[in-house]
Structure 1
Amino acid sequence: MRSHKRLAIIALVLAFFLTAMPSTTPRVYGASSIAVPCSAKCTIAILSPGGPLNLNTNVNSSFIVSFAVNNFTLVQPGTVNDVNTTVPASGSIKAHSEGHIHVFVDSHYITIWTTTNGIPLTLSPGTHTIRLDLVNDLHYEFSPGINATTTVNVADPLQSTANTAQSNAGNAMYYSLGALIVSIVAVILVAYVAFKPKPKP
């Protein structure tokens, strides 16, 4: 009897997780997951790194991705009955373009983003491709897709530390050599002034 209760409890817990998982995972692909086009031309652009604000694509392991959206309002995802999605004008409902951003790194989904603040990322050393996709409230991509991409080179902190130490050691050597040369010249000048024969009156 106890084993039947255990099996029933395990089955209920498993069923709960199986029904909860699809509701927490963004639906980003598939024929049924395409949103209607934006009511106005929606765009997203990455400003930094590798964009107009900062052309440099070399970054530390933790950095901020700055971006800009046009004709689109970023909102928290709601429910199926919520109006926080991109819909054309219909009856008393005005056309509006709302949704959020899906963040991908190397084609792997990372998170959603719902504010205009920069997106903090921490990546392993190496080259990574970051893609930001505008999606509607139901996590549906637009057709055609609206996204922005940049590729970054994440520095290895250990290599950076080693390079800095080596550079500092090289600088110290050159500064020491320079100080030695200045000291020798100063001694020669002092000796010249001190031992210079005085003119006879």
Structure 2
Amino acid sequence: MFVLFLLNLDNTFADCPKILSKDYWGGQAATHIDYVIKPVKYIIIHHTVTQQCLTENDCSQQLINIQSYHMNDLSLYDIGYNFIIGGDGNIYEGVGWHKEGAHTYGYNKKSIGVAFIGLFKYLLTIFNAFLDVAPNKKQLEAGQKLIECAVEKGEVDRTYKLMGARSVSATESPGLALFRVIQNWRGFTRNA
């Protein structure tokens, strides 16, 4: 007797978290797709510099707004990030796996761009100063699981370099507090 098993490869990786598809959150299709040669060497961490979201509906609306800004105002082919992590703890598909994002000039062909939804600064009116805060625990855990999954799937090299966008471009992204957090994550480096 001969038995044939068909496997869905996305579900065969134990450490891969659920990723909500672009269709699911209401995203537009890309107007053009460029692919990267995998595994890529870098993971670049960003923040969206938008309001935070704590529900799937709010996060989906934020993503629709971000994608609209990227495509309509910046004339990009799609939302710029490969994946985006909401305050609800969900991971949302951007351009997705093995596709070139538009998140970090000079690194798009050799990296995955992961953005955390939020600004992560709060105004302390008493002191007229801003307080930098990190994303919530659910977001941070989702980010680490996504990175583990990327390595396990072969999308990212096992000896990857993890960087904040501020390490390779003139930006404050991913925010001071998140930048401090990722310094304790596997693969972190300040220099390419």
TM-score w.r.t. the length of structure 1 is 0.22
Pick 1 or 2: higher relative contact order, CA cutoff 8 A, min separation 6.
Answer: 2
Larger radius of gyration: 1
> Which is strand-richer, 1 or 2?
1
Structure 2 length-normalised TM: 0.23
